[in-house]
Amino acid sequence: MQRTFAIIKPDAVAKGVAGRILSKIEENGFKVVAMKMMHMTDAQARGFYQVHRERPFFGSLVAFMTQGPSIVMALEGDNAIARWRELMGATDPAKAAAGTIRKEFASSIEANAVHGSDAPDTAAFEIPYFFSALEITAR
């Protein structure tokens, strides 16, 4: 079993499709071991996306992620990181495969509905960024 981190981003929450995305997550064999809705502060978003701080899109990313509530989650399953990334689809929804979350629910490269850890070390940073050990359901 492996854990990964996921966000249903503010654009998807605002469109009212969070429940449909959660259904896809569960239908694809993931166990949600932690979940909460939150409205990220500027400081939280800057800290979370610190790896991108030198990139030109950093400011717009922070603004986007703080525009409204999002749902943060820890997911568990066999090969969870790779499987979640596959279910999310390409960052650009126009290039995402049919049946992926981004193909179905995203509007643009930036308003792309969901986030997911890209590697075990990323998940190891992202999950405890938002959840204490007490908030995560034991296996």
**CA angle, corner 76, sides to 94 and 136, nearest 5?**
120
Ranges assigned E (strand) in the chain: 2-8, 31-38, 70-77, 114-116
Residues 6+ apart with CB under 8 A from 24: 87, 101
For tokens 């995402």, name the residue: 96
Residues 6+ apart with CB under 8 A from 135: 34, 36
> What is residue 77's DSSP assignment?
E
Of 7, 73, 115, 130, the active-site residue reads 115
Q: Is 39 a catalytic residue?
A: no
- Cβ(4)–Cβ(117) under 8 Å? yes
Catalytically active residues are 115
